[in-house]
Amino acid sequence: MTTATLEPAEAAPAADERLAYRGPIQRLLIRPEIGALIGAAVIWAFFWAVTDVFGTTAGVNNYLDVSATLGIMSVAVALLMIGGEFDLSSGAITGATGMLVVLLVKEVGEFGGAGFPATVAIPLTLAFALGIGWANGTLVEKTALPSFIVTLGTFFILRGAKLGFAKLFTDKVIVEGLDDAPDHGFWENIFGAVWVRNDHVWDSFLGGRNVVYGVLVTVGVSLLAVGILELLFRRRATPSSSGLTVALVGAVGAYGGLIALTTTDGAGQNWLWGTVMAVGACVLLYGLAAWRYEPLPAVGGAFHLQDHVGRNVALGLGAIVLGVALGLVLDAESQTELGFLLTVQGFRAIAYTGLVITGLILLLLAARTAGKASPLTQLAITTLAAVSVVAVAFIVQSQSESRKFRAEFFAVIVGVAVVLFMIGVLRARFVERRTPDAASDRLGRVIALAGITITFVGIAIRLLFATTVENETIPGEVRWRVSVLYFLLFAVIGSYMLLRTKFGSWTFAVGGNKDASRQVGVPAARTKTILFMIVSAAGWLVGMLIAFRLNSVQANVGDGQEFFYIIAAVVGGNLLTGGYGSVLGAAIGAIIMAMSFQGIPFAGWNSDWRFLFVGAILLLAVLVNNYVRAKAEAAS
Amino acid sequence: MSALLELENISKFYGNIIALTGVTTSVNAGEVTCVLGDNGAGKSTFIKIIAGAHQQSEGTLRVEGDEVMFDSPRDALALGIATVYQDLAVVPLMSVWRNFFLGAEPTRGWGPFQRLDQAKASSIAREEMAKMGIDIRDTEQAVGTLSGGERQSVAIARAAYFGAKVLILDEPTSALGVKQSGVVLRYILEARNRGLGVIFITHNPNHAWPVGDRFLILNRGRSMGNFAKEEITRDELIMMMAGGAELEELTKELEMAAATGTADPSLKELAEEFAEEYEELEERTEHD
């Protein structure tokens, strides 16, 4: 018999030829939260377009406020879910801790009160919550029963206890009077603090809020674009100074156009400055690329339109033209019922956006298919798509009564066209990087992240500070609650913990393959128990937030919410079976849920429809996540 | 110098079931001890005892000359005995570097600000895998996307890196194709060359022979012998392993089944194959 003699010294297999290079962008696309991020953007745009309040600070405040308590919980639930378990008592614990703290601070003698100061009652409540989490975790670990059943039991125990004790002590289904505590004021600053936006006017310092906001967002978006370029293209040996000059000229055009655009409002002026800005941005990006990245000798391939590509192009253009025609023919203001639920106005909006987006997708698909044979054709079709987008932008602008559509929407659509067009041009003109380059990857990532951070700081400034004009013209107060801050903190700390600490690694491991992780020395039981305790601690925090907000807690607070936490986590790309997922995704999932909950009544629809909407989002999210992951894994 | 690991007359009873009886063998540094046996031969019991998951009912286990009795896998691990289970080796959805350092993550920073030292973990994982002859380009790659042999090798490289002296490999080649099996066998040799004692458990004598220095053959819970490589030939090994007499019996049974005519025609082919193989075996044994 012949067995090849095994030579250990034999050359190691060279770089695995089956492993294709996966660019940073592609790697970003397989992140679990990416589906949720896209979904959030689409839903935001949808409600922004159909309601007046949604895009204002008041609207943002409204849905972020709802998302805060939901999000704190869904972040914790996502961690537990990645660890491979569920906690159905996570909703009930929020109400239970809230009730408990009220009962503990009430005066002795008065219905079951314990008369503790809040300083004692609050840590006691936390200990209670941690105890519940510990019990859940230990029971699940010791009995090896599914956490589904164990925590279902805990859920009913808590639910019954809440109702039973509330009735026993107060004869009502609500416990009231948290503000009886002598030290209530101190703790209210922690759990019930409020930032009244209208009290914080920023008019003059550093040119006022609007200038700071505008500068930060512009700088942020520009940095993001530069970072993406760095990630995508291959550096050239010697930078080209003429490219830099072109970039500078483009920058002057882009920023000049932008400043002029923001300081003028009038349908006649916007298109001029909009065009200057768009062309300037294109020149800027091209110049930057020419300065730093290696050019292709020429746009490859003769112009060649395959049959099916041609058909897609025709269909796409047809859809866009049809959409625009519908938009022109139908009356944008008409409230006439068209039948089932839809007014003429609503039908117009849906048909218009739906057809235009479908058309655009068809065009882009055609461009992609064509690009395999001829980059030149791809470039031509991409340009066509960009031109159609700009045309739609102008039609929207000429038709609109509201400033929202005339200026802001116009700028966004033109921006989309610029991005589309420039992606096509740059990919056809410059060499894309096909090999990892640690230095470039790091630089690009740092720049892009800095860009995103700066953009968000700009948006936050706009949300937190009012201007005198706003205070005078817009009625009502915007009150930012501290819960939003806790939500942000929770999402950031949770994400850091999951991705950057030992415990995070263990969480992935016990959810992905418990036996293997135990085998290599991961304390699996302890990890899971701590995860259960994190969930109940989050429940405690939410309980405190609710109690200090209302000074009273109803017995049914939180019951049934656990499903929304799980839905938010799943929408955020967390795998139901554990071992895979993202905390940031769950946070975004919570924001998606809150946007849909609040957007539906804003839009004037009966809020009974919201569950239908949430169900549809859940299904869609699961399908998209599935698809994206399969696609991403197939690509590797 | 005493052997890294010595087993003397190890037996294991589960109630009245005799899972393993009178097994003696040893593992030296820089040597591969192969444990061969068919299904139900007692191989899993054997591993569990050395790995510390079960305790032997009789017999002695010595690690570097000292008599030991393990209470848990952790005890065995502490003495440098690492086990790589075929299907439990890695967490497929996690990246290579996370898997490599799972349970022993390097950290930077202090107290609550301790964070994973991702750069260090990543580069060590890449280096250690390179020593095994695998070039991992992207340590962020999920282990599930690696081939079966490479997955095993992540576990082997990990055990070697964390100071294992004795490496137990449970059927590392059984689920793999021919080429992948070859790759894993090469990792076994790599590990041996690095001075580890390797216990290689398999039911395939063709995999055991080229890498083994010592062979322990188990059959129905009994030791059929414990041979150094010089003491046995390849064909004797195959013969013993397959249980020559049993093979003959099986051939007859199959022939009978085929003769009744009602059976699947493929049975007959199978019977012929068995007969041929048996003859071949006998012939070769005679030659030696």
Q: What is the pLDDT of residues A75-104, one digit of tens each?
A: 999 999 999 999 999 999 999 999 999 988
Test mutation, A18, A495, A499, A505, chain B, max B CBs within 10 A: A505
Q: From CA A447, how far away is CA A460, in angstroms rounded?
A: 20
Name the more confident of B285 and B232: B232
Local confidence band at A16 (pLDDT 50, 70, 90 cut-offs)? very low
Most confident of A499-508, B17-26, B140-149, B251-260: A499-508
Shortest alpha-carbon distance between residue A23 and chain B (Å): 11
The CA-based dihedral angle spanning residues B240, B241, B243, B247, taken in that order and rounded to the nearest 10 degrees:
-130
Give the gyration radius of chain A's Cα atoms.
Answer: 28
- Measured in angstroms, the CA of A515 and the nearest CA of chain B are apart by 6
% of chain B exceeding 90 in pLDDT: 0
Q: What is the pLDDT of residue B56?
A: 86
Residues of chain A with C-beta less than 8 angstroms from the C-beta of B158: 520
- The dihedral through the CA atoms of A546, A549, A551, A557 has a sign that is negative
Residue B180 has pLDDT above 90, yes or no: no
Which residue in B85, B116, B190 is closest to A500 by CB distance?
B116
CB within 8 Å: A636 and B145:
yes
Count CB atoms within 10 A of the CB of residue A546.
24
On the 0-12 / 13-18 / 19+ scale of CB atoms within 10 A, A339 is exposed
What the block records as the tokens of A253 is 């055009």
Beta-carbon separation of A516 and B138 below 8 A: no
State residue A636's pLDDT score: 42
CB distance A522–B93 less than 8 Å? no
Residues in chain B: 288
Our CA-based measurement puts residue B91 at a distance from the nearest CA of chain A, in whole angstroms, of 5
Cα B92–Cα A527–Cα A483 angle in degrees, nearest 5: 105
What would you report as the CA-atom Rg of chain B, rounded to the nearest whole angstrom? 21
- Out of A398-402, B93-97, B190-194, pick the least confident: A398-402
What is the band of B206 on the pLDDT scale with cuts at 50, 70, 90?
confident
Q: What is the mean pLDDT of residues B45-72?
A: 85
**pLDDT at A438 > cutoff 80:** no
Query: A148-157, A168-177, A263-272, B127-136: which has the highest mean pLDDT?
Result: A148-157
Angle A307-A308-A313 from CA coordinates, rounded to 5°: 100
Among the partner residues B92, B130, B140, nearest to A513 by beta-carbon distance: B92
pLDDT of the residue at B274: 66
- Note whether A519 contacts B73, CB cutoff 8 Å: yes
Residue B218's pLDDT band (boundaries 50, 70, 90)? confident
What's residue B220's pLDDT? 80
- Residue of chain A minimizing CA distance to B97: A505
* pLDDT at position A109: 64
Q: Give the closest of B107, B141, B158 to A636, CB-based.
A: B141
Above 90 in pLDDT, residue A307?
no
Contact B137 A14 (CB under 8 A): no
**pLDDT tens digits for A58-77?**
999 999 999 999 999 999 99
Q: What average pLDDT score do residues B140-151 get?
A: 79
CB B69 within 8 A of CB B62: no
pLDDT of residue B143: 83
C-alpha to C-alpha distance for A547 and A97, rounded to whole angstroms = 9
- Which pLDDT belongs to residue A14? 39
Q: Which residues contact A589 (CB under 8 A, 6 or more apart)?
A: A36, A74, A567, A568, A569, A570, A571, A572, A573, A621
Query: ipTM of this model?
Result: 0.76
Among chain B, residues having any CB pair with chain A shorter than 8 Å are: 73-74, 77, 83, 85, 88-94, 98, 101-105, 107, 114-116, 118, 130, 133-135, 137-138, 140-142, 145, 158, 182, 185-186, 189-190, 193, 206, 209-211, 234
* Cβ–Cβ gap A505/B94 under 8 Å: yes
Confidence category of residue A336, pLDDT binned at 50, 70, 90: confident
Question: What percent of chain A is modeled with pLDDT above 90?
Answer: 36
Question: Mean pLDDT, chain B, as a whole number?
Answer: 80
Of B101, B115, B135, nearest to A501 by CB-CB distance is B115
Rounded to 5 degrees, what are φ and ψ at B134? -115, 125
- Chain B residues near residue A505 by CB distance under 8 angstroms: 94, 98, 101-102, 105, 116
Highest mean pLDDT among A64-73, B107-116, B264-273: A64-73
Q: Lowest mean pLDDT: which of A177-186, A481-490, B58-67, B177-186?
A: B177-186
Q: How confident is the model at residue A156 (pLDDT cuts 50, 70, 90)?
A: very high
- Give pLDDT tens digits for B234-262: 777 777 776 655 656 666 666 666 666 55
β-sheet bridge partners, residue B226: B216
> Is the model more confident about B180 or about A188?
A188
Q: pLDDT (tens digit, 9 = 90+) per residue, B219-231?
A: 888 888 888 888 8
Give SS3 for A14: coil
User: Using the beta-carbon criterion (under 8 Å), do B186 and A10 form an inter-chain contact?
Assistant: yes
Confidence of residue A181 (pLDDT cuts 50, 70, 90): confident
- Which chain A residues are within 8 Å of B89, Cβ to Cβ? 516, 519
Residue A432 has pLDDT above 70, yes or no: yes
- Whether A598 and A62 have beta carbons less than 8 Å apart is answered as yes
- pLDDT value of residue A527: 94
Please tell me which residue of chain B has the smallest CA distance to A509. B91
Strand A194-196, strand A174-176: pairing: unpaired
Assess A521–B contact: CB distance below 8 Å, yes or no: yes
Residue B143: closest CA among A441, A583, A516, A527: A516
* Higher-pLDDT residue of A85, A26: A85
**How many residue pairs from chains A and B have C-beta atoms closer than 8 A?**
108
pTM of the model: 0.82
For residue B136, the model assigns a pLDDT of 77
Q: Which two tokens stand for residue A434?
A: 């096909």
A353-401 per-position pLDDT tens digit:
888 888 988 988 888 888 777 778 888 888 888 888 888 888 877 777 7
Res. A263: pLDDT tops 80: no
Residue B108 pLDDT > 50: yes
More confident residue, A531 or A238: A531
Q: Which one of B94, B135, B234 would you mutate to disrupt binding with A, by most A Cβ within 10 Å of its Cβ?
A: B94
Q: What percent of chain A has pLDDT over 70?
A: 90
B83 contacts in chain A (CB < 8 Å): 519
Q: pLDDT grade, residue A534 (50/70/90)?
A: very high
CB-side neighbour CA atoms (13 Å) of B136: 29
Which pLDDT score is estimated for A5? 39
